[in-house]
Structure 1
Amino acid sequence: MKDHCQISRWGSLILVLVIQILAGGGVALDQGLVIDLNGYRFDPVQGGAPPLPADLTIDPNDKAQPALVQLQGPIVPEWREQLESIGVTIHDYIPEFAYLVTMDQQAGDLMPHLPFVRWVGPYHPAYRISPRIGGFELVDPERRDDPFKKLTVQVFGNPSLAAVELEGLGLEVIEVVDDLWTPRLVVRALPEMIPVMARQSLVRWIEEVPDFTTQNNNTRWVVQSNLSGQTPLWDHNLHGENEIVTMMDTGLDYNSCWFRENGNAAPNPNHRKVIDYKTWGGSAYDGCGTGHGTHVAGTCTGDQSYINPGNDNYNGLAYRARITVQDVGNDDFFSCLLGLLSVPSSLTSAFSDAYTLGSRIHTNSWGSSSNSYDTHARDVDNFMWSNKDFLAVFAAGNYGPGSGTVGSPATAKNCISVGATRQAPQQETIAGYSSRGPADDNRYKPTLTAPGGEDPNFIFSADNNTGNPPSPTCSVVGSPFQGTSMAAPAVSGSALLVRQYYREGWYPSGAPVSEDGFIPSAALIKATMINSAADMGAADIPNNTEGWGRLLLDNALYFPGDSRFLRIEDETVGLQTGEVDIYSYTVNDGEPFEIVLVWTDYPAATGSGTKLVNDLDLEVEVLGGGLFRGNVFYNGESGMGGTADRLNVEEVVLLNSPGALTYTIRVIAHNVPQGGRQPYALVGTGAFPDWPPHGSSAPENPGPFRRISLQSHPNPFGTQTQLTYRIPGAAVGRKLQLEIVDISGRRIRTLFDGPAGSSGQTLSWDGRDRSGRLVPSGIYFAVLQSLDHRVQEKLIRLQ
């Protein structure tokens, strides 16, 4: 009844729109060439566009308005390039195989005649209005009683010009946000003005601004080993040294002994803990006395060594890491009481500031009740796509146990969204309040879980200590702190430890080798953590209660003496539509064999029905034993059959009893319509023979392990190109193969096939096939295989 009441405030036209969206037209459609946009699913060629209210349509011949263009199938780069060459500006991918575009009259006339274009049609106002306006809970009583709506309006082009246009309609523009990727306005408007706004050519999307709120000593061993008191990462001296995390929250009491510097120094770049502190929408530094931000920061990075050297009780997961603080708290009584925050209208500048300060993990124990993929969720995906070593972590929310209660921005594709379990020893039980998935397009949410506590077993962490002078003790507090707010910083602290593991060169030997160190992508960190997750047993994974399970780092990170080994592929170049990377892993029985594929996807259009843009597929095949596809699970492990996942940016194959066999692993680029190439990370764990590659699972003096690489120059080329490869020392003397294949995968020429004589060599290809004939101009691939690893380099041969 409550939802009907709120929707009715839209007026009759919008009510008709919402009913049509919820009904979905009642037509069964094949997924292949169906446009899925803002609740409307239609094949524009076979069935035509859906019926829309007259006031929410535009003239299809008006080239000043944005348009939709659908292509014939999986989108190759050449199609996009041809669209752009005639003057089409591509803004968003719309499933399936379509773009949201703007253009001039000439481009609009040319576009329908391109051979790969299936359909061109208007981007109607009905497609631009979120059906969730008025449909989620507001916490602020003043907003609940206000007849005006506070709206985010995404715009094409210059937001200042759009502001002038909307003000000319009599609307109140509260804020102009010149965001690099998604320019927008914040507007206050009566509901009946929403259709009027949507008809303006500069308007891209309209949604209601949600209320953002906080999501209110055993965690350290639960997420490391799940064995009481055992902290294997700490035991190997991984505490977050030289890592930086950023926290956006109510603020931090940096005089608390968990964060204090000698002489009570203010935050500065040389501070032992707090290197920067800024207000981002908040009204005062650490304005609320409740201490939510201090408690969160304590769980992630709190360190009492300033007062109690050698005592790590209640220390944060990455207690040697440092922190930057982005204070979004309010200091008025009711905001503090309700947990209301002043989150920036765009997250991009805050993320950019954190990145500039050296932070690569961003922890957020706040969110909204809106289950939609809104503008803030898009901000997360935008920034992570553009900065692929930056990982945002968000609390899933405290709106459970109902389904579809994970709140934005935790609905973003690329972040880790965190659900909460009860406190140990009940960590196998999900907390009743923990928000459940799925996201609004049926993606799995949350990603992982960690202890968040549940009354009467709270999470203990750093207490706000605002005394002057500060108290000489390191006090902790439990009540009232329970929630996904408490789980998220545990996962963020763990992400810092995973990042440190790769950066310091612990992979693959399990010991720190500086030459093996590298900067991991966010996708690799996320894939490692998913691989580590333990099924909580309440329901088979994956599910929308625990996602992939409870974080358990020791399941994935390898140390000498472990029987379960770790293998990774951090593919930073990536794939285009139709390309495939192939790997071969031999495993022994006795340990589960798990492969996790994760990619940081291009941001989705906020109104698109399916939020996946660049679609990769994971396949694992054993000779004579069948094919396993990513995310096809039965009874908690992978099963044969099923279809490829078309929703999630995480795909997993898990075999609890793999046998002693060799598996072929394929990463397939089904459709990559945005961003050029799609990088990815692949993380495998299992009983791998002859691994690590140094010849010993516990080397006293491990040598460096470098992954194979292949580079070409010049490229494009006319008569000759040089191909330079690098392989690890362990691969010298073992079989190496370098081949040239065409775009269909047909072998053109073998340049080398035999034992590798050195760890690096340059070979030439003169553009001829194995018969000595010059091949036609076009696209080819150099494919290098060594040590069961395979890389490829795209080559362009010119006439």
Structure 2
Amino acid sequence: MKRLESLGLLVVLAMRLSAQSNESGYVSLQSGTAGGGTPVHNRGILGQGQVIAILDTGLDWDSCWFSEPDGSPPPVNLTIDGRVVDANRRKVIAYDFLYSCIEWPLSASCEVPLDASAWDNQGHGTHAAAGAAADKGAMLAHDFGDALAPGAKLVIQDGGYIGGDNCAQRPGFGCPLRDLRPVLRQAYEQGARVHSSSWGDRQGVAPPANPPTGNYSTGARDIDAFVYEKPDMVVVFNTGNAGELGAMSQSSPGNAKNTIQVGGSSFATPLLHAVASYSGIGPTRDQRIKPDLVGPLNVYGADSDLSVGTANCDGSYQGGTSFASPPVAAAAALVRQYYLEGWYPTGARVASNAIAPSAALVKATLIGGARLVPYWNSASGTVTIDAVPSYEQGFGFPVLDDALYFAGDRARLFVRDRSLADGLKVEESEELIFDVASTEELRVALVWTDPPGTPAGFTSSTQQLVNDLDVVVVEPSGTTHYGNEQLHPGARETRNNAEVVRVASPASGRWKVRVEAPRLGLGPRQGWALVVIGDLHESVAQTRRRPVRPGS
């Protein structure tokens, strides 16, 4: 990077306003610029058939962006075991009170669900939900403030809000943080396959004594364990707003291995201008890449009036990474819809081509289609970022039109989604050979759902990667590229379960892409997802070649 000379529970509530809104956000995540088109929406991919869970302060469900035509309240669950769902509703199919007086009978401040102010008495959750799936009117008629996935439905998990910070702020999450696996399971069994959270855990220490330290917490372990058990559950978190503290300022549990953690990009001109100074940055304490991506900051969307029964169409601008991650959760929902509707591999919708994507494939698709954000507004000045991945933005700003193939596009898409049962054993590899033209950048992304690690203290640098895979890309000349080589040129990746190789001007000819399994701490197999994007055609596939590393 080059410097330009002139130039507990942590919840993001920063109000850093600009002209940025859902309008440019929902466009930029499709085409890369605020003035670009909406190529994904234009093909009818708006989130239909997808359910996104929002774990936050609740929802003002009678806002016009979420309400039913008849004004009826959503179905309610008063305990973590509740599974009541009404899938026929327009928007909110289940509302789970995680801080109900049934769930927390000894708490003097527990929520009485039918009280008008209990649904979202703070507003943070309403605005987060708006960034993912708000839809003010007819889905095919875009309204100002609608989200990227207006056709998606919502499961709302309400953690309550009683002010303060740390554990007291979201009491339904517990203090210390409750086991997140039952929370994720509730949403999963209610139909959600994308789960979005805009909060972080201070792990029992009140501020300012304990700013985020990037460690692998018990909550991070819970998330990794659940996704390993349910590998089609995409879990999205924000980084938090402590970036001005410097390295390791992203919050846990969002820095788990199997999440998509999202920082924030500010929107000066051009649109993809700079990672915000306050966006939490990496690496993690064990030197993993977090955030994974950055999303649009300063979002206009639904605003809670702190009461139901007073139907409103209020909206507001709110900023912070809390509202950068829900649009990326929406992008994940559109990627799922793309695969489930059979758009791959022909670029046209063919039902018989439907794929039920793993969370690893969704993540690989998003990071494979991400663009470099060229600047970082650090606390001490503006810094040029030359390449991704970087610890400030992860793999970049996701652009769906760069990630997804549609008929007529020059850049094609190849994916392989290997389940755990069909994964690699230790020292096995799978090789694919592509005929590549030099007209488009070549991008290769490998992601796998790693088994859970071992929770570590604030200062622990114990490596959390359990199973180590590698992506190796070989040019026609024999030049070899390894995943994430921008961070460690010439060396193999040994810490992250997401790896990318990007070649801006690939030589024409036959390229090899190999996925290897040099080390498995938990076997006997490891599943994986591979995404290859470029002007290419698959030529030959060879599987299970041994050894992975000759002479090792």
Asked if the contact 2:10–2:240 (Cα under 8 Å) also holds between the matched residues in 1, the reply is no
Structure 1 window deviating more from structure 2 (490-499 vs 533-542): it is: 533-542
Partner of 2:133: 301
1:326 aligns with 2:157: yes
Q: Deviations over 1:384-418 (max 9, x none)?
A: 11111111000011101211100101110110000
1:619 aligns with 2:472: yes
Asked if the contact 1:218–1:424 (Cα under 8 Å) also holds between the matched residues in 2, the reply is no
- Cα distance in 2 for partners of 1:517, 1:612 equals 32
> Of residues 301, 306, 309 in structure 2, which corresponds to 1:461?
301
Asked if the contact 1:421–1:452 (Cα under 8 Å) also holds between the matched residues in 2, the reply is yes
Spell out the pairing of 1:188-199 with structure 2 (5 A cutoff): none
1:788 aligns with 2:540: yes
1:597 aligns with 2:442: no
Shift, 1:325, TM fit = 0.7
> Of residues 677, 685, 699 in structure 1, which corresponds to 2:533?
685
> Are the structure 2 counterparts of residues 337 and 483 from structure 1 closer, same or farther at C-alpha, using a change threshold of 3 Å?
farther
- Cα distance in 1 for partners of 2:325, 2:307 equals 28
Asked if the contact 1:214–1:341 (Cα under 8 Å) also holds between the matched residues in 2, the reply is no
Spell out the pairing of 1:346-361 with structure 2 (5 A cutoff): 346-361=179-194
Partner of 1:430: 275
Spell out the pairing of 1:268-287 with structure 2 (5 A cutoff): 268=75, 269=86, 270-281=88-99, 283-284=110-111, 285=113, 286=118
Partner of 2:198: 365
Structure 1 window deviating more from structure 2 (540-549 vs 240-249): it is: 540-549
Spell out the pairing of 1:378-777 with structure 2 (5 A cutoff): 378-401=221-244, 402-423=246-267, 425=269, 426-453=271-298, 459-465=299-305, 469-471=309-311, 474-478=313-317, 481-538=318-375, 539=385, 540-572=387-419, 573-607=422-456, 609-633=462-486, 642-689=490-537
Asked if the contact 2:233–2:359 (Cα under 8 Å) also holds between the matched residues in 1, the reply is yes
> Are the structure 2 counterparts of residues 609 and 680 from structure 1 closer, same or farther at C-alpha, using a change threshold of 3 Å?
same
Amino acid at match of 1:475: D
> Are the structure 2 counterparts of residues 323 and 618 from structure 1 closer, same or farther at C-alpha, using a change threshold of 3 Å?
same
- Cα distance in 1 for partners of 2:74, 2:505 equals 52
> Of residues 8, 14, 25 in structure 2, which corresponds to 1:219?
25
Q: Deviations over 1:751-799 (max 9, x none)?
A: xxxxxxxxxxxxxxxxxxxxxxxxxxxxxxxxxxxx52345599xxxxx
Shift, 1:590, TM fit = 1.1
Shift, 1:464, TM fit = 1.1
Shift, 1:423, TM fit = 3.4
- Cα distance in 2 for partners of 1:502, 1:398 equals 33
Could you say what secondary structure the match of 1:460 adopts? strand
Could you say what secondary structure the match of 1:342 adopts? helix
| TM-score normalised over the length of structure 2 | 0.82
Q: Deviations over 1:607-654 (max 9, x none)?
A: 3710110000111112433211111128xxxx9x62211100011111
Shift, 1:556, TM fit = 1.1
> Are the structure 2 counterparts of residues 262 and 514 from structure 1 closer, same or farther at C-alpha, using a change threshold of 3 Å?
same
> Are the structure 2 counterparts of residues 656 and 383 from structure 1 closer, same or farther at C-alpha, using a change threshold of 3 Å?
same
> Are the structure 2 counterparts of residues 586 and 278 from structure 1 closer, same or farther at C-alpha, using a change threshold of 3 Å?
same
- Cα distance in 1 for partners of 2:414, 2:140 equals 37
Shift, 1:370, TM fit = 4.2
Amino acid at match of 2:258: N
Spell out the pairing of 1:178-257 with structure 2 (5 A cutoff): 210-214=8-12, 216=14, 217-227=23-33, 228=35, 230-257=37-64
Could you say what secondary structure the match of 2:360 adopts? helix
**% identity of equivalent residues:** 35
Shift, 1:502, TM fit = 0.3
Amino acid at match of 2:431: I
> Are the structure 2 counterparts of residues 221 and 648 from structure 1 closer, same or farther at C-alpha, using a change threshold of 3 Å?
same
Shift, 1:213, TM fit = 2.6
Asked if the contact 1:602–1:675 (Cα under 8 Å) also holds between the matched residues in 2, the reply is no
- Cα distance in 1 for partners of 2:302, 2:235 equals 22
- Cα distance in 2 for partners of 1:525, 1:410 equals 17
Shift, 1:262, TM fit = 2.3
Could you say what secondary structure the match of 1:297 adopts? helix
The structure having more radius of gyration, on CA atoms, is: 1
Structure 1 window deviating more from structure 2 (279-288 vs 255-264): it is: 279-288
Amino acid at match of 2:156: V
Could you say what secondary structure the match of 2:227 adopts? helix
- Cα distance in 1 for partners of 2:72, 2:154 equals 15
What is the root-mean-square deviation in Å for CA atoms of aligned residues? 2.3
Asked if the contact 1:212–1:341 (Cα under 8 Å) also holds between the matched residues in 2, the reply is no
Gaps in structure 2 of 5+ consecutive residues: 1-7, 15-22, 76-85, 101-109, 202-211, 376-384, 547-552
- Cα distance in 1 for partners of 2:430, 2:57 equals 45
Partner of 1:710: none
Shift, 1:672, TM fit = 1.0
1:377 aligns with 2:220: yes
Shift, 1:422, TM fit = 1.1
Gaps in structure 1 of 5+ consecutive residues: 1-209, 454-458, 692-786, 795-799
Amino acid at match of 2:280: S
Q: Deviations over 1:232-280 (max 9, x none)?
A: 1111100000110111000001111111012211214121111111112
Could you say what secondary structure the match of 2:531 adopts? strand
Amino acid at match of 2:157: Q
Asked if the contact 1:214–1:339 (Cα under 8 Å) also holds between the matched residues in 2, the reply is no
Amino acid at match of 2:290: K
Asked if the contact 2:198–2:237 (Cα under 8 Å) also holds between the matched residues in 1, the reply is yes
Asked if the contact 1:255–1:465 (Cα under 8 Å) also holds between the matched residues in 2, the reply is no
> Are the structure 2 counterparts of residues 589 and 289 from structure 1 closer, same or farther at C-alpha, using a change threshold of 3 Å?
same
By relative contact order (CA 8 Å, sep 6+), the higher-ranking structure is: 2
Amino acid at match of 1:412: A
Amino acid at match of 1:252: L
Amino acid at match of 1:642: G
Could you say what secondary structure the match of 2:512 adopts? strand
Shift, 1:469, TM fit = 4.8
> Are the structure 2 counterparts of residues 565 and 663 from structure 1 closer, same or farther at C-alpha, using a change threshold of 3 Å?
same
Could you say what secondary structure the match of 1:296 adopts? helix
Q: Deviations over 1:568-600 (max 9, x none)?
A: 111111111111111111110111011101000
Shift, 1:675, TM fit = 4.1
How many residue pairs are counted as aligned between the two chains?
A: 474
Amino acid at match of 2:256: A
Amino acid at match of 1:586: D
Asked if the contact 1:422–1:429 (Cα under 8 Å) also holds between the matched residues in 2, the reply is yes
Amino acid at match of 1:570: D
- Cα distance in 2 for partners of 1:675, 1:264 equals 51
- Cα distance in 2 for partners of 1:530, 1:422 equals 19
Q: Deviations over 1:678-732 (max 9, x none)?
A: 000000000115x8xxxxxxxxxxxxxxxxxxxxxxxxxxxxxxxxxxxxxxxxx
Asked if the contact 2:273–2:374 (Cα under 8 Å) also holds between the matched residues in 1, the reply is yes
- Cα distance in 2 for partners of 1:226, 1:495 equals 16
Whichever structure has more strand as a proportion of its residues is 1
